[in-house]
């Protein structure tokens, strides 16, 4: 009896592996089968690629056409405004975008007002595809822009993994009942006995894929030696963002060479901003404090890639809580972060993964504008001072679950192998 169960589990795992490999292989097939004559060895590189008049176009005619156009866009990597702003980018910002266009407009409005923004490369990474969002990003004229698209979005797989397969187990079904009904993932609930929810797992998948794709596949990033700053669509940056980033880089060189990451934001908003404007502190990385305006170097990226298996199998649907788990476990030395006390990145979103109603981006805009009036005297500090140095140690926490399905583990693990 036990042998039959083990055999059944093995067959199930082989089946899951076959599905995931098929998904990953399909990305390569679609790229090579593109009607465009650009071959796999002629990936667009920097200023040799598409010019400012050539916009990324997604085909919304049908689901297969949309899927193929997503793969084609990731292959071609059209950099907008590259003629207008020649030369290597001085700073790369990566924005993870879902489907909150009004908040995205606020972020872009703040970027347009940022000093020296013309030297930036903005990379927008999408997991929801719409003509409205595409038009918003393509309307940017103040710096170079690249759009990349998460190819395993639930939008592209509405009735199969990694979306919600109708044969999947309901979230709250007991494992005994699931085994009796024979639903697809009956053997693999999370740590709390719940089965996967596709819309819950997507954010972590997108974040890890994006990290790989930006550092390994974005051609215009070849040779870039600076930090990459990660933002989300409901962030808002202050006008002295780049000035403060350069000050943090200089401070790190002279006073904190062992700082692994930078955090240009915190979750305190503009409270006491003028007083804290020129202050930084060092501490161990914590998900609830340092997940906004994160700056990651290529060196730290490689450290995280050494934990690919651990990241992809840890039963927490949050990428940031998973990262905190890695710090001091898989990454043997806890991640040390240099943190801005006067936040240069604000969180404007009052809607998110679990809150879908009563979203009022106009209130967020008004609040930010009023706050900036009081904070303007603290902008562009001439130098930074150390305000505190906390212990850098591993902070254990209770995992949140939502990531028990082996299909998610396998797909996530394969981002490092096939992009």
The three-point CA angle 166-97-57 to 5° equals: 90
Closest to 299 (Cα-Cα) out of 322, 338, 331, 329: 331
Detail the residues annotated as belonging to a binding site for substrate: 96-100, 127, 202-206
Q: How many CB atoms lie within 10 A of CB 118?
A: 13
pLDDT of 258 higher than 70: yes
Q: Which 3 state secondary structure label does DSSP give 308?
A: helix
* Mean pLDDT, range 37-62, rounded to an integer: 54
**pLDDT above 70 coverage of the chain, percent:** 84
Detail the residues annotated as belonging to a binding site: 96-100, 127, 202-206, 234, 347
The three-point CA angle 49-52-57 to 5° equals: 80
pLDDT of 319 higher than 50: yes
| First vs last C-alpha separation in the chain | 41
Detail the residues annotated as belonging to a binding site for Mn(2+): 234, 347
Of the pLDDT bands very low, low, confident and very high (cuts 50, 70, 90), residue 351 is low
**For the structural domain made of 46-154+199-414, what CATH number should be given?**
3.90.550.10
- Please give the pLDDT value at position 396: 85
| DSSP annotation of 313 | H
> Are 419 and 411 within 8 A, CB to CB?
no
- Please give the pLDDT value at position 227: 98
Of the pLDDT bands very low, low, confident and very high (cuts 50, 70, 90), residue 132 is very high
pTM for the whole structure: 0.87
């Amino acid at each position: 009896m036990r042998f039959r169960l083990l055999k059944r589990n093995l067959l199930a795992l082989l089946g899951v592996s076959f599905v995931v490999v098929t998904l990953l292989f399909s990305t390569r097939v679609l790229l090579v089968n593109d009607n465009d004559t650009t071959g796999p060895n002629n990936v667009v590189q920097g200023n040799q690629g598409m010019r400012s008049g050539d916009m990324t176009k997604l085909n919304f005619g049908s689901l297969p056409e949309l899927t193929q156009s997503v793969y084609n866009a990731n292959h071609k990597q059209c950099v907008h405004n590259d003629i207008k702003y020649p030369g290597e980018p001085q700073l790369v910002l990566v924005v993870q975008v879902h489907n909150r266009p009004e908040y995205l407009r606020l972020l872009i409005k703040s970027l347009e007002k940022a000093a020296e923004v013309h030297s930036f490369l903005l990379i927008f990474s999408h997991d929801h595809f719409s003509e409205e969002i595409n038009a918003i990003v393509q309307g940017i004229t103040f710096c170079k822009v690249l759009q990349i698209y998460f190819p395993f979005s639930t939008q592209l797989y509405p009735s199969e993994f990694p979306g919600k397969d109708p044969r999947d187990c309901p979230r709250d079904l007991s494992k005994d009942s699931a085994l009796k009904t024979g639903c697809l993932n009956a053997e693999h609930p999370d740590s709390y006995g719940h089965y996967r929810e596709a819309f819950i797992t997507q954010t972590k998948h997108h974040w890890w894929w994006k990290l790989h794709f930006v550092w390994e596949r974005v051609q215009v990033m070849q040779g870039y030696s600076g930090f990459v700053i990660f933002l989300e669509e409901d962030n808002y940056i202050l006008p002295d963002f780049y000035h403060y980033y350069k000050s943090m880089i200089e401070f790190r060189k002279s006073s904190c060479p062992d700082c692994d990451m930078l955090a240009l934001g915190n979750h305190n908003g503009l409270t006491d901003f003028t007083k804290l404007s020129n202050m930084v502190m060092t501490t161990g990385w914590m998900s609830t404090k340092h997940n906004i305006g994160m700056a990651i170097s290529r060196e730290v990226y490689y450290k995280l890639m050494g934990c690919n298996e651990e990241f992809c199998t840890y039963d927490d649907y949050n990428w940031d809580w998973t990262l905190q788990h890695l710090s001091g476990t898989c990454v043997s030395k806890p991640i040390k972060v240099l943190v801005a006390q006067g936040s240069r990145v604000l969180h404007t979103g009052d809607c998110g993964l679990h809150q879908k109603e009563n979203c009022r981006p106009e209130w967020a805009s008004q609040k930010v504008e009023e706050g900036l009036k009081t904070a303007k005297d603290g902008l562009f500090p001439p130098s930074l001072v150390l305000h505190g140095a906390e212990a850098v140690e591993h902070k254990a926490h209770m995992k949140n679950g939502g990531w028990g399905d082996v299909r998610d583990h396998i797909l996530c693990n394969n981002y490092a192998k096939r992009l």
